Amino acid sequence: MLRWGAHSEEVINVYGAIQAHERPRINPNYTVDAVITRREGVLVRECEKGGTAASIKAAMDRAIDQIQIETSGPRDRAAEAIARVTKKFRSKLDPALPDRGPES
């Protein structure tokens, strides 16, 4: 089924309009499958230790927090870039507005 779907996408040329553009690199550690596998490992380890529902939930929460920490770099850089562009646009649209710093 997957091969048929991939072949159909090629025949239809679904991605033809964007092929000239560079595709973003995907970190294999953060695909949906990788994240689910990671969380599944946490669940299995906690169950093998005889964990309670509360300890399993705490371990899963820690795993989610860790993934968010590991992936926050690109998100933070994107937020900073948006803040810089917003500041430039504001100053061009109304030069009389005071500079409110990066947090505005």
pLDDT digits (tens, 9 = 90+) for 47-58: 999 989 999 999
Q: Report pLDDT for 101.
A: 54
Q: What is the pLDDT of residue 73?
A: 78
Mean pLDDT rounded to a whole number for the chain: 85
pLDDT band at 92 (very low <50, low <70, confident <90, very high): confident
Other CB atoms within 10 A of residue 46 CB: 19
For the segment 6-17, what is each residue's pLDDT rounded down to a tens digit? 889 888 888 887
Q: How many CB atoms lie within 10 A of CB 12?
A: 9
